[in-house]
Amino acid sequence: MVAPRHPDIFGCLVVPRFPLACELGDRPELWGRPVVVAHADAPVVWSASPAATRTHGVVEGQRLSEAMGRCPSLVVLDARPARYEARDAAILDALERVVPGVEPAGLGTAYVELASLARCYRSPAALHAALLGCAPSELRPRLGVGPTKFVAGLAASLAGTHGRSGNVAPNVTVVDASEVAAFVTPVPVTALPVEAEMIRRLRLVGITTVGQLAALPRHALVAQFGAQGMRLVALLDGAAEPVRPRPREERVRERLAFPEPLTSREAVLAAAAQVLRRILRHPRRRDRVARQLVVRAETEQGKRWESRATLRHARCDHDGLWVTLASALERASLPGPVSELTVELRGLRPSRGWQGELLATSRASAERRERIEEGMRQLRTRYGRTLVGRMVPVEPWSRVPERRWALVELE
């Protein structure tokens, strides 16, 4: 007997203008004012508030000087990408506790498959509330539900602005399979998940709605826009793209907060050594090796610095990780005194396949090792500290000689 197949239902959770929403979530007094978020090192608008766009014509990608010329009262906020990524990851984690498979689609956007989940909730409204609850309410998330990811995405982008009768909450738009054509026809082409250049070209020839676009011959779209046009044709024809969940990745994280922010690099390095020792003692780390090392420093003002190093081979030994960690911190341009330091090991997997050396250590080198250790013991007894170091490559490719190799404690 074949189980009856549920009709496809997809959800799309969107936080519009995610970087800006994160900033306004921290500074709610700026809601309703013309505000933009811009990278300190790239003078273009990354994310603009509706007030700035509607009243002054400030749009994303515009040069900051032009934006400020258009709107003298514009509030410019420094972008904090690490913070946005952390908030996005927190939303995805929360969604995964509600829905088994979550597909991230850029900062503040995620797709989920809902058909199998609908019966777990007493009503669709309860399911929608659970999904919306995954994003903090101050970010003002929106939810779109439809028979394909494409329709769900369009519904989410219009949620809260589209007065449809099927809505169960102001920030939710539900589109049934029977009303897809009626829903998408008036949708502006700016809501399509395609490149801005394609939208610009469509508008140049007077195509402003999805309905006008759908009326065009399919071969003309493909001829004009190539692979992107082909994908758009498939989406307009109702092709079902599955949700591609993000791969599950095991990770461990240790954090150290400082009541008195650290101002010197030496203090940050000492703290990093402590966090590393702690993370290596973590029970979930035992008998496992990591693929990636992430170190993150946060200042009291909420500015973050992050470095992500993919290890040449999966490892979890103290010396190997310390070289990566210390060199990242020594190179770092920290945004200020550090009030919190986090070290994270990602991509943990069993270390069974690890082959340290092709040939077993010979007896001669074992004897040499014993002699060195004995000498070190004597030195430690005589001077109270270890004086023997080991050369480790830090940046062997560097043009600056003192950055190529470093001396670390042998033990």
Partner 1 sequence: MTPRPLNAPVRIPVQVDPAGEPRAIGLPGPLGRRRAVPVAQVAERWRIDEGWWGPNPLSRLYYRLALTDGRLVTVYRDLDDGTWWTQRS
In the complex, the residues that contact partner 1 under the rule CB under 8 A are: 41, 266, 269-270, 322-323, 326-327, 330, 333, 386, 389, 391-392, 394, 399-409
- Which of 310/398 has CB closer to partner 1? 398
The distance of closest approach from Cβ of residue 269 to partner 1 in the complex, given in angstroms and rounded to an integer, is 5
The distance of closest approach from Cβ of residue 389 to partner 1 in the complex, given in angstroms and rounded to an integer, is 7
Alpha carbon distance 309, 86 (integer Å): 17
The distance of closest approach from Cβ of residue 323 to partner 1 in the complex, given in angstroms and rounded to an integer, is 7
The distance of closest approach from Cβ of residue 401 to partner 1 in the complex, given in angstroms and rounded to an integer, is 4
Alpha carbon distance 113, 145 (integer Å): 10
Buried b or exposed e, range 111-146, using 16+ CB within 10 angstroms: bbbbeebeeebeebeebbebbbebbbeebbbbbbbb
- In the block, which residue shows the tokens 């989406």? 235
- Which of 199/388 has CB closer to partner 1? 388
At 377, which amino acid appears?
R
The distance of closest approach from Cβ of residue 102 to partner 1 in the complex, given in angstroms and rounded to an integer, is 36
- Which of 350/389 has CB closer to partner 1? 389
- The CA–CA distances, whole Å, from 89 to 117, 216, 395 equal 22, 39, 31
The distance of closest approach from Cβ of residue 403 to partner 1 in the complex, given in angstroms and rounded to an integer, is 7
- In the block, which residue shows the tokens 């020792």? 277
To which H or E segment does residue 389 belong? Answer: strand 389-393
Are the beta carbons of 67 and 73 closer than 8 angstroms? no
- Which of 183/322 has CB closer to partner 1? 322
Helices (H) and strands (E) in the chain, counts: 13, 15
**Residues 6+ away with beta carbon under 8 Å from 254:** 275, 278, 279, 282, 342, 343, 344
The distance of closest approach from Cβ of residue 258 to partner 1 in the complex, given in angstroms and rounded to an integer, is 18
Alpha carbon distance 239, 242 (integer Å): 10
- Which of 57/389 has CB closer to partner 1? 389
- Which of 204/400 has CB closer to partner 1? 400
Alpha carbon distance 37, 48 (integer Å): 7
- Which of 253/404 has CB closer to partner 1? 404
The distance of closest approach from Cβ of residue 292 to partner 1 in the complex, given in angstroms and rounded to an integer, is 20
What is the side-by-side order of every strand in the sheet holding 35-38? 45-48, 35-38, 75-78
The distance of closest approach from Cβ of residue 398 to partner 1 in the complex, given in angstroms and rounded to an integer, is 8
- Which of 47/324 has CB closer to partner 1? 324
- Which of 357/402 has CB closer to partner 1? 402
Are the beta carbons of 108 and 81 closer than 8 angstroms? no
Alpha carbon distance 284, 137 (integer Å): 33
Residue 210, class by beta-carbon neighbours within 10 Å (0-12 exposed, 13-18 middle, 19+ buried)?
Answer: buried
- Which of 5/382 has CB closer to partner 1? 382
The distance of closest approach from Cβ of residue 41 to partner 1 in the complex, given in angstroms and rounded to an integer, is 8
How far does CA 153 lie from the centroid of its chain? 19
